[in-house]
Chain A
Amino acid sequence: MKTSKVSRRVTALAALLFTGTATFGGNKVRPPQEPGAELRKAPRAASSWRNPYGGQADAVLAGKKLFGKHCVSCHGEDAAGIDKAPSLRSPVMRSATAGVLLWFLKNGNRREGMPSWSKLPDQQLWQLVAYLQSLGSEGSASQ
């Protein structure tokens, strides 16, 4: 009898936590965080990593497809950012090297809600980097 009561309480608590805390508390809307500080955490060697797909039009197209699949829901169709997900056309992003962007995609910034994309193969991450580096600056037409 006691166990049954405990079980019901655990169930109620579980339901409350699942629907409430996670949805409303876990992802509080805050202003976009500039990724500059995180990009600076990249190891020095990352700056010298070269994109094997650099300058390839097909890689930019493939990167655009991957962006649509994995990134659009947070950063928007035009990569200008939504809620706390920052714009990917900002000067900080545009000045980052391909290697630093790859490092950031692989590591993410979980505290700020940016997941690690290490589940994607390096080839696809480089294609994403090629697309990100092809984006125009803020205010320019979306590509």
Chain B
Amino acid sequence: MKGICYSFIATRLLIAAVLLSARATGQENYFVTYDQHLEEPGNLEVSINPLIGKPPGGNAFVGSWMEFEYGATGWWTMEFYLDGQSTRRESTLFTGYRWENRFRPLAGEHWINPVFYVEFENVHGSDKILKDVVGFDSREDFGEPNAETHGEREREIETKLILGSQYRGWNISENFIAAKSFSNEPWEFGYALGVSRPLGLAATPRPCVFCRENFHAGLELYGGLGDAHSLTLRGTSHYLAPVLAWELANGTAMRISPTFGITGQSFPFLVRVGVSYEVAGFGRQVRRMFR
């Protein structure tokens, strides 16, 4: 009976997702940095974000996360992530999941807009998505074989203070990260900074694919800041990453970011790619199906 009920609900949710005709355009302009903008209420954004890299002396890999971002209310967005990776000459693995919530406490727009972020993650040691950098994370962590790291389980709570501003078309965002593993390890810290801007500020009167307003260019800088025992930049990894995002008219957006390591602990070079699709009014359509 329970099985039937679950499959009935799952089928209806799937049908809702497929049949929805209302679409909006996703506007995430960064890979690692969060800005102050939440998902529009009732919208669901689905995206896949592969990261391609090769640790020195190790095998090339593709780490990827699949993201489901839902605007629960005007002040609350939640996201669910499924992580995976494939390492050349080794294996392809599901590496865990993450569940995050972002809350915007202040009504209205301010010069600086704060957002609180809380995430629970349950991943294997073989996770290679590098969604953020905290503590003394380094490229050496990615060089170990999957057979050794997949048995390690990492559960942690991650919190962020996100500050974001808009100024003359520019978005300027700062993230301060504090993460605590459920095991007996100290708090780890990190940061992410981002600036981005659409290439065209005014919209053209007619629909277009390649016009400047559909492109956003930006730059991200992120890295670790040590842990509670040693708050430092020494021995930590840091990355500088230009980002180019392109919005297509049908709700699809694409992003690419060549990422450059700027310390000895960082990967010298990584490439991130992202494709997202936004379903507008998802929550409303699902509610109607159950009414």
- Asked if A123 and B201 sit within 8 Å, CB to CB, the answer is yes
Tell yes or no: A29 within 8 A of B by CB.
yes
- Asked whether, in the complex, the Cβ of A124 is within 8 Å of the Cβ of B201, the reply is yes
Are the C-beta atoms of A73 and B24 separated by less than 8 Å? yes
| Nearest B-chain residue to A14, judged by Cβ | B99
Q: In the complex, are the beta carbons of B75 and A116 less than 8 A apart?
A: no
Assess A27 versus B206: contact at CB under 8 Å? Given A22-B72, A119-B27, A122-B169: no
| Contacting residue for B22 out of A29, A73, A83, CB 8 A | A73
* Known contacts A27-B72, A62-B204; is-contact A106 B120 (Cβ 8 Å): no
B109 within 8 A of A: yes
Of the listed residues B27, B73, B171, B207, the one surrounded by the most CB atoms of chain A closer than 10 A to its CB is B73
CB atoms of B202 and A111 under 8 A apart:
no
Contact check, A124 vs B25: say whether CB atoms are below 8 A apart. no
Type the 1/0 row for A3-20, where 1 means its CB is closer than 8 Å to any CB of B. 100010011001001110
The total of chain A residues at the interface (CB under 8 A) is 47
- Give the total number of A-B pairs whose CB atoms are below 8 A apart: 137
B198 contacts the other chain (Cβ, under 8 Å)? yes
A115 to B109 CA separation, bound complex (whole angstroms): 11
B153-176 near A? 1/0 per residue, CB < 8 Å: 001000000000010110100000
The residue from A22, A66, A110 contacting B78, defined by CB atoms under 8 A apart: A22
The residue in chain B whose Cβ has the minimal distance to the Cβ of A3 is B182
Q: Determine if B180 is an interface residue (Cβ-Cβ < 8 Å).
A: no
Q: How far is the CA of A127 from the CA of B213 in the complex (A)?
A: 13
Q: How far is the CB of A56 from chain B (nearest CB, A)?
A: 9
Per-residue contact bits, chain B 89-114, to A (CB 8 Å; 1 contact, 0 not):
00000000101000010011100000
- Known contacts A65-B205, A109-B74, A29 near B107 by CB under 8 Å: no
What are the residues of chain A within 8 A of B286 when measuring CB–CB? Answer: 23-24
B43 CB-CB contact with A under 8 Å? yes
Given known pairs A113-B74, A121-B202, the reply for A18 and B169 (CB within 8 Å) is: no
The stretch that binds A, out of B34-42, B140-148, B234-242, is B34-42
The 8 Å CB contact of B169, one of A69, A106, A121, is A121
Q: Which residues of B contact A70 (CB under 8 A)?
A: 24-25
Q: Are the C-beta atoms of B74 and A69 separated by less than 8 Å?
A: no
State which size class the interface on B falls in: 35 or more
Q: Does A114 make an interface contact (CB < 8 A)?
A: yes
Contact of B107 among A18, A69, A110, A119 (CB under 8 A): A110
Q: Is the CB of B155 within 8 A of A7?
A: yes
A110–B25 contact, CB under 8 A?
no
Q: How far is the CB of B122 from chain A (nearest CB, A)?
A: 6
A54 at the B interface (CB under 8 A) = no
In the bound assembly, the distance between CA atoms of A114 and B122 in angstroms comes to 33
Q: Which of A81-123 contact B (CB under 8 A)?
A: 82-83, 106-116, 118-119, 121-123
Residues of A within 8 Å of B109, CB to CB, are 106-108, 116, 118
Inside 8 A of A22's CB, which chain B residues have their CB? 70, 72, 76, 78, 283
Q: Tell whether B281 is near chain A: CB-to-CB under 8 Å.
A: yes
A113 vs B169: C-alpha distance when bound (angstroms): 24
Does B280 sit within 8 A of A, measured CB to CB?
yes
**A9 to B78 CA separation, bound complex (whole angstroms):** 19
A26 and B73 contact, CB distance less than 8 A: yes
Q: Establish whether residues B120 and A14, one from each chain, have CB atoms under 8 Å apart when the complex forms.
A: yes
B206 touches A65 (CB 8 A): yes
CB-CB nearest 7 A-B residue pairs: A110-B74, A73-B280, A61-B205, A26-B72, A22-B72, A123-B202, A121-B169
List 7 interface pairs A-B (beta carbons < 8 Å), by A numbering: A11-B97, A22-B70, A22-B283, A27-B72, A63-B203, A107-B108, A124-B201
Q: 11 new A-B pairs (CB below 8 Å) besides A23-B287, A27-B73, A121-B169?
A: A14-B80, A22-B283, A24-B287, A26-B72, A65-B206, A83-B284, A107-B109, A119-B35, A119-B166, A124-B201, A127-B202
**Chain A interface residues toward B at CB < 8 A:** 3, 7, 10-11, 14, 17-19, 21-24, 26-27, 29, 58-59, 61-63, 65-66, 69-70, 72-74, 82-83, 106-116, 118-119, 121-124, 127
